[in-house]
Amino acid sequence: MADIVLDKVTKKYPDGTTAVHEVDLEIADGEFIILVGPSGCGKSTTLNMIAGLEDISSGELRIGGQRVNEKQPKDRDIAMVFQSYALYPNMTVGENMAFPLRLAKMDKALIKQKVDEAARVLELTEYLDRKPANLSGGQRQRVAMGRAIVRSPKAFLMDEPLSNLDAKLRVQMRTQVSRLQKQLNTTTVYVTHDQTEAMTLGDRVVVMRGGYIQQLGDPQTLYDNPVNLFVAGFIGSPSMNFLAATVEESVLRTPLGDLPLGDRMRSALSGADAPRELIVGIRPEHFEDAALIEEHQRAKGFEFTMPVDLVESMGSDKYVYFTVEGERAAAADLEDLTADAGGADLPPQDNLVTRLSAESRVRDGVDARVWMNLDKIHLFDPRNGHNITLHEGKAAGVSAA
Amino acid sequence: MAVATTSAKVKWGLLDAVVVVFALIPVLWIASLSFKTPATLTDGNFIPREWTFENYKLIFQTDQFVRALINSIGIALISTLIAVVLGTMAAYAISRLDFPGKQLLVGVSLLIAMFPQVSLVSPLFNIERNTGLFDTWPGLILPYITFALPLAIYTLSAFFKQIPWDLEKAAKMDGATQGEAFRKVIAPLAAPGVFTTAILVFIFCWNDFLFAISLTSTERSRTVPVALSFFTGASQFEDPTGAISAAAVVITIPIILFVLFFQKRIVAGLTSGAVKG
């Protein structure tokens, strides 16, 4: 077990492209850290550099306090689980798991003991003599995990280990991975493009984009206080709603209506270089059916009436969709997000997604009165995507004094 | 896939039969000739009226044939071994590494494969006479390797490309050196490709007539296909058809054995289960 420190680690390819820009990251001993981001954000490259499968162009990588830039993967004592599992097809499950130990010239009896133990933990005992070809996807995945844990390495690296599983199995394995990590208490770096995995698994999450770290923090912090549009849109499902807005006098003009601006926001927006055009971001769960809002809460929010497009009842709550008239929110960050999701995870820009209580009586095609929490609204500068509502690292809402 | 109907089965069966008959009749004809006596050789019967092993006895009595058989086996095996080893390394490099001149290397090897061999015979003849390689084993092994290598490289690199690269990375992460990763993980998976290539290269060397007749002059290095052409009958008016047929049958046997032996190892889909699929 060891801590991993990335000190201005950069990856530059011979053709001049830079995949990872001076990444600084300190991963504590036993920590479970997630690298998340859209494809091409540099997360896998970063992982491969930690593994030693790719050279580090500049900067320093330290594992357990020791510089390992020049060390071969085999000398770094870290195990890796691949997205493709990369099981050796000519070996049985048992031989696959024993492979790293055999390479380490470990005693045969000890190898058997360790393999048996890992197989027991992963419930693979009855498959030890099978070839990987005769296993299901989930079993193969577990063998890959088994191969990593048998030799008790300093750290685990996982490169999207669950993305080849079907949805149900993925949720099961997610819990298993999490439990295993807690049990072994081994430093783990986990790469994924799935924000749900990132939120549920990690002690801390690193959101990456274009080779830069966007934000680093525990899942809740990322969710509540995203530093920019990209993080705000990437974390959360369904993702945050973004609306175009303009500052006028002391109000914020949005397609939903004029929102009051608190003193703090007003002074922040009164500067000479303060943007006139803004992007309002608000998460679906910060809306509520106005009829269900208690009186003392009503004042903290803003109410509007709009015709309902569609109601999706999830049982526990209702997803209610509205169509927003007017200009779309536009920013480079948002385009990146849409491009990454293929439009799938992100609602269309003129769509407003709200998550209301299950008791709400809104129906398709009928006007609904909706309340939204002003304290939970984020304002982003469309020029650089920065969240301007953050106050000392915390989201403060638009109406804060 | 639709279940084959009876009529479809019959149709395919007939078609297969035609192909098999077409391919096998000449072979059987040669075999039949080899068992005929000189008198009944030209009677046109498919099944010999008088069976005889005289032809076989004859060829093994002549030192010429036995010596040629040894030459053939030796030269073909050595050429195959060297070509496959070199080809494996080259193919691995081509499929896995990005090095300057890679395209050139692939292009040149293709060029060699396409070069008409007959146009090289005269220069090779002169080169080998001057260097003392003429009529020696290396004198045949060298050109065989030259022409077998492109074949080996092409076949093998196709096989290597099918092996997921993640396996090699995984082996490295598991603590293997580059060499161990190749020996313990990649090579076993490439085995079917290596055997396939070995068979193809062996057949190429075994069957060659052009180089063998041009670059040899005595029994020292003469291979079987050439030796066959030097067979003479009992008198100069007698055609050694029976003996040639018998020899032809005999030299087919090693190839069949070679293929049968390696066929078991050519298991399709050996890599299945390695990665998601």
Q: What is the pLDDT of residues B245-258, one digit of tens each?
A: 888 898 888 888 87
Name chain B contacts of A134, Cβ cutoff 8 Å.
273
DSSP run (H or E) holding A4: strand A4-12
- Give CATH for domain A231-380: 2.40.50.140
pLDDT digits (tens, 9 = 90+) for A165-186: 888 888 888 999 999 999 999 9
Selected for mutation to probe chain A from B99, B163, B189, B276 (highest A CB count within 10 Å) is B276
pLDDT at B267 exceeding the cut of 70: no
Name chain B contacts of A72, Cβ cutoff 8 Å.
172, 177
pLDDT band at A87 (very low <50, low <70, confident <90, very high): very high
pLDDT at A36 exceeding the cut of 50: yes
Find the CB nearest A74 among B176, B185, B274: B176
The CATH architecture of the domain made up of B59-276 is: Orthogonal Bundle (1.10)
Residue A268's pLDDT is: 78
Residue B39's pLDDT is: 80
Q: CATH 2.40.50.140 occupies which residues in chain A?
A: 231-380
Residue B19's pLDDT is: 94
Are A2 and A188 a contacting pair, CB within 8 Å?
A: no
State how far the Cα of A149 lies from the Cα of A172, in Å rounded to an integer: 19
Instruction: Kindly state the average pLDDT of the residues B139-144.
Output: 94
Show the tokens assigned to B223.
């291979």
Q: CATH 3.40.50.300 occupies which residues in chain A?
A: 4-224
Round the average pLDDT of chain A to a whole number and report it. 89
Own/partner long-range contacts of B217-222 (Cβ < 8 Å, ≥24 apart): B217/B134, B217/B135, B218/B135, B219/B63, B219/B64, B219/B67, B219/B68, B219/B71, B220/B71, B220/B135, B220/B136, B221/B71, B221/B75, B221/B135, B221/B136, B221/B137, B221/B139, B221/B140, B222/B67, B222/B68, B222/B71
Beta bridge partners of A157: A80, A189
The answer, as to whether pTM is greater than 0.90, is no
**Cα of B51 to nearest chain A Cα, Å:** 50
Show the tokens assigned to A141.
């995945």
Out of A359-368, B36-45, B243-252, which region has the weakest mean confidence (pLDDT)?
Answer: B36-45
Beta-strand runs (E) in A104-203: 155-159, 187-192
pLDDT at A1 exceeding the cut of 70: no
Residue A343's pLDDT is: 47
Find the CB nearest B164 among A73, A74, A84: A84
pLDDT at A102 exceeding the cut of 50: yes
CB atoms B175 and A133 under 8 Å: no
DSSP run (H or E) holding B261: helix B241-263
Fold of A4-224: Rossmann fold (3.40.50)
CB atoms B276 and A133 under 8 Å: no
ipTM above 0.90, yes or no: no
CB atoms B172 and A87 under 8 Å: no
Show the tokens assigned to B277.
């699929």
CB atoms B276 and A85 under 8 Å: yes
pLDDT digits (tens, 9 = 90+) for B149-187: 998 998 888 888 888 888 999 999 999 998 888 888 888
pLDDT at A66 exceeding the cut of 50: yes
CB atoms B275 and A133 under 8 Å: no
**Closest alpha carbon to A379 in A359, A355, A396:** A396
Name chain B contacts of A150, Cβ cutoff 8 Å.
none
Are B145 and B183 a contacting pair, CB within 8 Å?
A: no
Selected for mutation to probe chain B from A13, A44, A53, A74 (highest B CB count within 10 Å) is A74
